[in-house]
């Protein structure tokens, strides 16, 4: 099974601060994804990437940026964090079927 890791696993940030969530995959998948999961909303796609250097907007991209500097790494950046971005964030990789990382619990105070 694909190995996807995320860091940090837990993060507390202040409103207006910058937050970077990191994701690494070791299975050479071209596609990588960032989701957030909130009660009542299921999994919602924020950004995704088809390969190094590419990023695409998902369904809820506002307030988030993404960066894919290499095949293995995909970051999600919150330039100005807000309390509404408190959530659990999952990274996934996969080219037909996706494999999820363990998640990052972000709290913005």
Partner 1 sequence: GDSVTQTEGLVTLTEGLPVMLNCTYQSTYSPFLFWYVQHLNEAPKLLLKSFTDNKRPEHQGFHATLHKSSSSFHLQKSSAQLSDSALYYCASSGGSNAKLTFGKGTKLSVKS
Query: In this chain, which stretch among 8-16, 68-76, 79-87, 90-98 interacts with partner 1, using CB under 8 A?
Result: 90-98
Please check whether residue 109 is in contact with residue 12, taking contact to mean a CB–CB distance below 8 angstroms.
Answer: yes
Q: Does 60 bind partner 1 (CB under 8 A)?
A: no
Query: In this chain, which stretch among 11-19, 20-28, 67-75, 100-108 interacts with partner 1, using CB under 8 A?
Result: 100-108
Q: Does 97 bind partner 1 (CB under 8 A)?
A: yes
Please check whether residue 46 is in contact with residue 76, taking contact to mean a CB–CB distance below 8 angstroms.
Answer: yes
Length of the chain: 109
Name the minimum Å distance from CB 67 to partner 1: 19
- 89 Cα distance to chain centroid: 6
Among 34, 48, 64, 74, binds partner 1 (CB under 8 A): 48
- Closer Cβ to partner 1, 58 or 61, answer by number: 58
Q: What is the DSSP string of 32-77?
A: EEEEEEETTTEEEEEEEESSTT--EE-S--TT-EEE--SSSEEEEE
Task: State the residues that interact with partner 1 by CB under 8 A.
Answer: 31, 33, 42-43, 45, 48, 58, 90, 94-103
């Amino acid at each position: 099974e694909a190995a996807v890791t995320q860091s940090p696993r837990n993060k507390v940030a202040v409103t207006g601060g910058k937050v970077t969530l990191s994701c690494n995959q070791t299975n050479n998948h071209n596609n990588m994804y960032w989701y957030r999961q909130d009660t009542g909303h299921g999994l919602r796609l924020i950004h995704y990437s088809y390969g190094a250097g590419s990023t695409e907007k998902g369904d809820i991209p506002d307030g988030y940026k993404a960066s894919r500097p290499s095949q293995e790494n995909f970051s999600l950046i919150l330039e100005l964090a807000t309390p509404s971005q408190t959530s659990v964030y999952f990274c996934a990789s996969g080219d037909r079927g996706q494999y999820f990382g363990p998640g990052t619990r972000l709290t913005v105070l």
